[in-house]
Amino acid sequence: MAKKPPIFLERDRYRTRRLVDALRVLPILAGILWLVPALWANDTQNPPEIARLAIYFFCTWALMIVLSFALSRRLRHSAEFAGGIGTDGPSAPRDRD
């Protein structure tokens, strides 16, 4: 019996697309994390300390740098990205004429 072609995307292509999606969501995540101190400001009895806010902003900023570096590094080593997403690279389907 002949093998049927897979219904889903290839595993490498799927992972590459999820990495690209993660990189696109990263700025939104950073914006949400930077809005958290606005919740702290509503406490009128114990206002947040500026040093604590500065440390929080620095840590979230550093976390975003580390996450974007790690994701972009994994994306660079992805098999599909070497050929380019959406281009006629080695992993792109060929037109049959």
Domain total for the chain?
A: 1
With respect to residue 97, please indicate whether it lies within any of the assigned structural domains.
no
With respect to residue 54, please indicate whether it lies within any of the assigned structural domains.
yes
Q: Domain containing 15: what range?
A: 11-83
Has this prediction a pTM greater than 0.75?
no
pLDDT digits (tens, 9 = 90+) for 26-85: 999 999 999 988 777 676 777 778 888 899 999 999 999 999 999 988 888 775 555 555
With respect to residue 95, please indicate whether it lies within any of the assigned structural domains.
no
Residue whose C-alpha is closest to residue 85's, from 30, 5, 4, 19? 19
Sequence-distant (6+) residues with CB within 8 A of 78 are: 12, 15, 16, 19
